[in-house]
């Protein structure tokens, strides 16, 4: 499919009026009060709280947790512990830690549910699709041929074939095995 551009330079004035309305400009102390990732970053893993908040791993590098509203089974979120909205707000070691956790998340999903591919990315800012623009997080989404069908395209419904707690248990157990193997 080929796209054509519709040039509308007068819209930039409107876009510029939206600056600061995406949540990223809110001071972290205010935004972190309503931040589900900051809340998840407080739990001890393993614990009942970790299970309830779907946190699989929390260490000095950050956390890996299941997305409560997944695109498909196994949709993971990977985030630093610090409440920061973007990559420039992180130090180089923090960015390296984030990528290490994304790599671990991909390995975990490969071992646990054997997807045929992955979508891995960041949505920075509300207009870019970030539902939580104040706390940077990566999405690690396992994919299979044919996992998108008419239900999502026409019906705007996602079919998730496994209960989220069952997926959590499977991933938690696989992560424990992976970590024991490294020791």
pLDDT tens for the chain, 183 residues: list them: 666 655 666 566 655 655 554 444 344 445 445 799 999 999 999 999 999 999 999 999 999 999 988 888 999 999 999 999 999 999 999 999 999 999 999 999 999 999 999 999 999 888 887 788 899 999 999 998 876 655 555 556 667 778 899 999 999 999 999 999 887
* Domain-wise residue ranges, the chain: 11-182
Token representation of residue 146: 């044919």
Q: To the nearest 10°, the Cα dihedral for 15, 16, 22, 26?
A: -170
Q: What is residue 25's predicted lDDT score, i.e. its pLDDT?
A: 39
Q: What is residue 12's predicted lDDT score, i.e. its pLDDT?
A: 66
Q: What is residue 14's predicted lDDT score, i.e. its pLDDT?
A: 53
Q: Look up 83 and say whether it is catalytic.
A: no
Q: What is residue 61's predicted lDDT score, i.e. its pLDDT?
A: 97
Token representation of residue 17: 């009026």
Q: What is residue 125's predicted lDDT score, i.e. its pLDDT?
A: 85
Catalytic-labelled residue, pool 75, 83, 135, 137: 137
Strand order in the sheet with 76-79: 55-59, 62-66, 76-79, 138-143, 117-122
**CATH number, domain 11-182:** 3.30.428.10
Q: Which residues contact 72 (CB under 8 A, 6 or more apart)?
A: 141, 142, 143, 144, 147, 158, 160
């Amino acid at each position: 499919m080929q796209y054509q551009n519709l040039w509308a330079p007068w819209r930039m004035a409107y876009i510029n009026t939206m600056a600061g309305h995406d949540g990223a400009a809110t001071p972290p102390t205010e935004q972190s009060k309503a931040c589900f990732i900051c809340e998840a970053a407080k739990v001890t893993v393993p614990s009942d709280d970790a299970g309830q908040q779907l946190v699989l791993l929390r260490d000095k590098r950050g956390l890996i947790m299941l997305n409560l509203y997944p695109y498909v089974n196994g949709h993971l979120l990977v985030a630093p512990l610090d409440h920061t909205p973007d990559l420039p707000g992180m130090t180089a070691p923090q960015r390296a830690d984030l990528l290490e956790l994304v790599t671990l998340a991909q390995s975990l999903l490969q071992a646990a549910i054997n997807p045929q591919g992955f979508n891995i990315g960041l949505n920075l800012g509300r207009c870019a699709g970030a539902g939580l623009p104040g706390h940077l997080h990566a999405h690690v989404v396992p994919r299979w041929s044919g996992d998108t069908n008419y239900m999502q395209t026409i019906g705007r419904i996602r079919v998730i074939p496994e209960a989220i707690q069952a997926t959590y248990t499977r991933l938690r157990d696989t992560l424990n095995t992976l970590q024991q193997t490294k020791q």
